[in-house]
Amino acid sequence: MFVDDPKEAPRDDLSALAALDEPTRRRLYDLVARSAGPVGRDEAAETLGLARQTAAFHLDRLAGEGLLDIVYERRSGRTGPGAGRPAKLYRRSGREVGVSVPARQYELAGQLLAEAVEESDSTGEPVRAVLNRKAAELGERLGAEAARSVVDLLERYGFEPRREGDTVVLGNCPFHLLARRHVDTVCGMNLHLLRGALAASGDTAYRACLAPAPGRCCVVLEPAS
């Protein structure tokens, strides 16, 4: 998944969903999600008829996957000396989890398109021009962290790069359905995204070019020479 902060690595959504496949963890997650306030270990164990140690183990696993947040509160309402230690409580996190195979980035496309429409509405600049500029800016932020190898970055974000001779072909389009229905808009956005990533990464071996073909991304990386 793409991230707003390129320094923050994408989290493993598949691992998070796998954690919910365990029945006890799923029941605990649902309990916390439905609760009006944070839930403690004792409360969770009593509600679901679990041993406290079992509840604590699974709650911490859910927190470790980023599905729950941990907070500390004194449930007695007292403060100061003698009030006791704050209890460890759990609440549903703000993390959204979704998995698609092959990888898709429709949320990113929606974010870029919404920003382009809003800026175009306020400045009068054509929407497509704003979209391409926004895509290039995002690519630059990502490329700045690519350690001079944009191919590794593309692998990380699900483009499935593979070498065919001197060319790097991208076996997966993260915007597949949108690109099928809105070819010029989405492929142009993708092209500027990858050009921005190349420019900021310092990877001078390749240039991003449009080369649409069935079954892969519309952009390829050709030798810069």
Helix (H, G, I), strand (E, B) or coil at 146: coil
For residues 50 and 130, membership in a common domain is answered with: no
pLDDT score, position 7: 42
Q: How far is CA 158 from the centre of its chain?
A: 11
- Residues 147-156 have pLDDT tens digits of 667 888 888 8
Do 83 and 167 lie in a common domain?
Answer: no
Q: What is the CATH number of the domain that holds 173?
A: 3.30.1380
Residues 159-173 have a mean pLDDT of 92
Residue 168 lies in a domain: yes
Q: Which of 94-98, 170-174, 185-189, 209-213 has the lowest mean pLDDT?
A: 94-98
Domain boundary residue among 32, 63, 92? Answer: 92
Dihedral sign computed on CA atoms, order 198, 105, 209, 188 = negative
Residue 91 in this model has a pLDDT that exceeds 70: yes
| pLDDT band with cut points at 50, 70 and 90 for residue 77 | low
Full residue range of the structural domain in which residue 213 is found: 106-223
Same domain, 38 and 77: yes
The answer on 139 and 44 residing in a single domain is no
22 located within any domain = yes
Where a domain ends, among 92, 127, 161?
92
* Type and span of the H or E element at 141: helix 127-143
* Proportion of the chain above pLDDT 90, given as a percent: 59
- Which residue matches tokens 């970055």? 153
Question: What's the CATH number where 22 sits?
Answer: 1.10.10.10
